[in-house]
Amino acid sequence: MEGQRITADRLAKMDIGDGNLTEEEKGFIAMTLRGCDKAIAFDDSERGRFDPRYAKPARIHTVPHVPWKDRPQWKYAQKEKEEIVTFIKEKIRTFVAEPCESAYSNKWFFFRKGGSNKLRWIQNLQRTNAVTIRDVGSIPEADLLAEGSAGRSIYSICDLFSGYDEIPLDYRDRHMTALHTPIGLVQMMVVPMGWTNGVAVFQRAMIAVLKEFIPEKVEVFLDDFPIKGPVERDETEVFPGVRKFVADHMSHVRNVLEKLDDANLTVSGTKSRWGVSSIKILGFICDKDGRRTDPEKLVKLMTWPSPLKSITEVRQFQGVVGYWRIFIKAYGETAEPLRRLLRKSEGWVWGEEQAAAMEALKGEFREGGEVLGVPFFEDEEHCPFIVSTDAGPHSVGGLLSQKDGEGKERPLQFESRTLNPAERNYSQFKKEVLGVLHCLKAFRHYLYGRRFLLRVNPTAVAAVLQNDFSLTDPTIVRWMIHIRLYDYRVERISGSKNQVADGLSRLPIREEDLPRFKEEEVTMAKEEIMKVVTNRAQIVRSSRGKEGGPMTFLANLYDGKYRDIGLYLVGREAGTERIRQKALGYCLRGGHLFKRATKFAIPMRVLCDPEERRAVIEELHDGFVRGHRGVKGTFDKVRRLYWWDGQYTEVEKYCSTCEACQKRATVRYKEPLVPSLPTVPGEKVHIDLVTMPKGVGGLRYIINARDDLTGFVEAKAIKKKTAEEVSDFLLEYIARYGCVGRVVMDRGAEFVSQKVKVLLEKAEIGAGYTTAYHPQSNAPVERGHQTLVDALAKWCKGRAEQWLRYLRYEVCVDNITVKSSTGYPPYTLWFGRHCPLPIEFHVDTWTSVSWKTNMTRNELLEARIQQIAENLDVTKVGENIERKRVKGKDR
């Protein structure tokens, strides 16, 4: 009968309400729970188990392995042993475990649960986990789970009764969980605690059961899942003493419990909570106001001893603090002194700065911490998301906020990250743009596809975000392409009003951070600046002339098409159609002609006088504030202000003749290549070794010889780099292809050995050796290594040890492939004829079809002449090689 499980004694142990309910409402909740009591368990005899319709028995999929035999690693006292035996027998009685015969045996241990003092059985399945194929299923992120549960008027939170004991384990895999116990070998019938895929299997099964309630009413985290009540707290009384928000919530609770009953699952009657105003989820407290940190979980953090004494302790402290970093303003900047201790380049120095950083991080939670609001997605017009960003010397970050129902702006999440060494050298403008980019990426799941407010401090950044300016920095251009994927409205806010985000840049400037200048440097700077200002004033005065009116044109300063364009713009000449079209890109001001710039860049003054052009280049290249920059740097400065044809060429010519620049130039002129030029095949052969992954039979090297003229290659797999292996290879090479003129090798011990020298002397073959640190002299074979190794890797398709199987194939392919340096396949140059290919005997070619018909002797001779009439011009081949090697492409 319904309600029999929840007796008066058991009801007294259940957690119903936390001061937020009336007595009538508590009775209403108890009545509702009694109607669904089959889904509630108080002991093992009442525990359920997943119905196969929702979750099939779990499988342990493994890679091939050998069974193992482990025993428990400690002994128990007599009283403990009696309790353990009773516990195991109870697990067998309730079909959690069963006696077995198995080739496996795992370690195991017990510990007592906090508070209840009950035993918990843990199997040490490290050996099983090592051979298990990983399931990539995952659990929700803690902060997102808490965010999705916050902002409700009432909650219930369910905890399955021995959750893992409710997932059956497939009978085919139970033997791998076997354990040596005081009552014999026992194997698990349910998913064991400690199995690597247990979390993924459990989460997937729970989602399958409760998917119709996710995420509107339920959020699932393994065997714990909150049931969320309505957002609005409707106080209307629907039953005597029972308000509507309570009745609505219990209706949802009943639906969830009925679903659990249908899946044959049970929640714990004593650990679950019903009809409460707040719940704890993974270190967070969720209630109607939002989410905040759980004070009980912060005890360890707040009592953490100082100072920290090692890098390990720093990592541990940062790991705990980082779990709640979304509650901390400017976390990246605040934690920077601690993070510096983790860098190898910095010595371990615990000082006042580190102690202050540690206390500042603790201080963020001392008064209970920040309460983060609940995101509201329904009213984009009146309650848009607000992103405030800022950048500091060491980090960038910002804040996501939103106005609540009372019009008060509340934080939803803080975000920050530390800048790497390269990013710390960015200009402040570039850091600010990076801060915007980082925050938009971090808050993408809130912002993408909806209109939001973007608050920034610097006016320049606000202007770039609002307008389509032409930016010269390609990195910022790339960032802006991503930023403009979002739909935002920019609001420029001063630093004094942007207290939360702007804290990153409001750091005190230390005296040691200020630059230091010598007195003579300051004097020189003043003189140079005054010189530049004086020259600038003279240029401006000379440019204005006597006719500075807006509709005048100083035609005597211009020639060619620019003069025609200027006269057309002031109306003195009608102009041709071509001039009228070009004039659209120009304008007049102060009597001078300006070329209109793209987008928002300023128009550029047109200069025709060569002397004036040179004066401009000289001023922008040689001046103190210009600093003798290179061609590109000078050209960018000139192009921003002035325009003329052939501008880049003139700037390049001037910079290349600058005496100061040439003295400091880093260009190094290399000695021209003097390539070796063989004249016949076999005149010079290069030999070398290449190391490979260990293959079949322990073979791990390839010795190969490559002809200098033709590129013809021969290779062999060997086990060791020894003189015997090298001499055997040389002997085989000579026996197969004849003697060669000269052999080039490096100075490895296997090549300079006496045995190799004796063999070469007997065959009257010259020996050449490369010099130290100059492998280029053995380049033909060195370059061939890369081609050979890459090709074998493609043949093997990830099975590196199989390279020996494909070595002969690759040597053949290399020899019949046309080389760009010669224009011929190595086989053709080496043997003087075309290499027959298998396809030619199925699809006829010129070289194969002629032999298949009856021909006279003269016809055969004529066909043979035509076949070898490819004119293998060795001289031409040598010229090709010389040209390639002089260019440095093949030496």
Give the pLDDT confidence score for residue 714 in this predicted structure: 92
Cβ-in-10-Å burial (0-12, 13-18, 19+) of 623 comes to middle
Mean pLDDT of the 344-361 span: 78
Task: Output the pLDDT for position 847.
Answer: 60
pLDDT for 522 equals: 41
State how far the Cα of 213 lies from the Cα of 227, in Å rounded to an integer: 9
3-state secondary structure of 820: coil
Q: What is the predicted pLDDT for the residue at 150?
A: 85
Backbone angles phi, psi at 270, to 5 degrees: -95, -30
Provide the pLDDT for residue 236.
87
CA distances for 615 relative to 345, 354, 531, 622, 629, angstroms: 48, 55, 14, 10, 16
Rounded to 5 degrees, what angle do the CA atoms 438, 464, 401 make? 45
Mean pLDDT lowest among 50-54, 561-565, 747-751 = 50-54
Place of tokens 């504030």: 625
User: What does the buried/exposed string (b/e) look like for 16-30 if buried means 16 or more CB atoms within 10 Å of the residue's CB?
Assistant: bbeeebeeebbebbb
* Confidence class for position 524, pLDDT limits 50, 70, 90: very low
Phi, psi of 552 (to 5 degrees): -105, 165
- Confidence at residue 791, expressed as pLDDT on a 0 to 100 scale: 81
Q: DSSP letters along 44-84, please?
A: GGG-----TTT-PPB---B-S----B---SS---HHHHHHH
Structure tokens at 669: 């002129």
Could you tell me which residues are beta bridge partners of residue 388? 399, 455
Question: What per-residue confidence (pLDDT) applies to 675?
Answer: 62
Instruction: Look at residue 822 in the predicted model and tell me its pLDDT.
Output: 76
Rounded to a whole number of angstroms, the CA Rg of the chain reads: 41
- The residue-averaged pLDDT of 210-232 equals 86
pLDDT digits (tens, 9 = 90+) for 66-105: 998 887 656 677 777 788 888 888 888 888 899 998 998 8
* Closest among 227, 233, 259 to 246, alpha carbons compared: 233
More confident residue, 448 or 842: 448
Q: Name the residue with higher pLDDT: 395 or 330.
A: 395
CATH topology classification for 8-288: Alpha-Beta Plaits (3.30.70)
The partner residues of 536 in beta bridges, in order of sequence, read none
Residues 582 and 119: their CA atoms lie apart, in Å, by 89
pLDDT for the residue 842 = 64
Residue recorded with tokens 């008066």:
8
Cα–Cα distance between 338 and 321 in angstroms, integer?
Answer: 12
Rounded percentage of the chain residues whose pLDDT exceeds 70: 81
Q: Using CA atoms, how far apart are residues 628 and 625, in angstroms rounded to an integer?
A: 9
Q: What is the pLDDT of residues 613-651, one digit of tens each?
A: 888 888 877 765 556 677 888 888 888 888 888 888 888
- Provide the 3-class DSSP secondary structure of residue 396: strand
Q: Do domains 8-288 and 684-834 have the same CATH topology?
A: no
Supply the pLDDT for residue 515.
42
Q: Are strands 237-239 and 242-243 parallel, antiparallel or unpaired?
A: antiparallel
Longest dimension (CA), the chain: 121
Beta bridge partners of 226: 157
The structure's pTM equals 0.51
The mean pLDDT value for 439-459 works out to: 85
One-letter amino acid for residue 741 of the chain: G
Residues 763-778 have a mean pLDDT of: 79
Lowest mean pLDDT among 53-57, 114-118, 243-247: 114-118
Average pLDDT (331-349) is: 76
Domain 296-497 is in which class? alpha beta
Average pLDDT of every residue of the chain: 79
Q: Given a cut of 50, is residue 533 above it in pLDDT?
A: no
Three-class SS string for 829-880?
A: HHHCCCCCCHHHHCCCCHHHHHHHCCCCHHHHHHHHHHHCCCCCCHHHHHHH
Rounded Cα gap, residues 824 and 198, in angstroms = 62
pLDDT digits (tens, 9 = 90+) for 1-10: 455 788 888 8
Backbone angles phi, psi at 121, to 5 degrees: -95, 120
Burial 257-272 (b: 16+ CB within 10 A, else e): bebbbebbbbbbbebb
Contact 779, 803 (CB under 8 A): no
In the prediction, which pLDDT does 139 show?
80
The separation between CA 796 and the C-alpha centre of its own chain, rounded to angstroms, equals 29
The CA distance from 225 to 335, in Å, is 34
pLDDT of residue 535: 45
pLDDT, average across residues 156-179: 86
**851 pLDDT band (50/70/90 cuts)?**
low
d(CA 469, CA 460): 11
Closest CA to 73 of 31, 123, 28, 114: 123
Q: What is the pLDDT of residue 505?
A: 45
- The answer to whether the beta carbons of residues 822 and 710 sit under 8 Å apart is yes
pLDDT of residue 403: 85
Whether the predicted pLDDT of 741 surpasses 80? yes
CATH class of 684-834: alpha beta
Question: For residue 363, which phi and psi values (nearest 5 degrees)?
Answer: -60, -25
- At residue 840, does pLDDT exceed 80? no
Q: Annotate 456-471 with DSSP letters as a single string.
A: ES-HHHHHHHHS----
Q: What ranges do the domains of the chain cover?
A: 8-288, 296-497, 560-606, 610-663, 684-834
- Taking only the tens place, the pLDDT of each residue in 275-299 is 888 888 888 888 888 888 887 877 8
- pLDDT at residue 532 greater than cutoff 60: no
**In this model, does residue 591 exceed pLDDT 70?**
yes
**pLDDT mean over 111-119:** 66
User: What single-letter amino acid sits at 282?
Assistant: L
CA distances to 692, 696, 799 from 719, in Å = 10, 10, 19
Over range 557-574, report the average pLDDT.
84
Share of the chain above pLDDT 90, in %: 4
| Whether residue 432 has pLDDT greater than 70 | yes
* Structure confidence at residue 676 (pLDDT): 66
Q: Which of 534-548, 688-702, 771-785, 810-824 has the lowest mean pLDDT?
A: 534-548
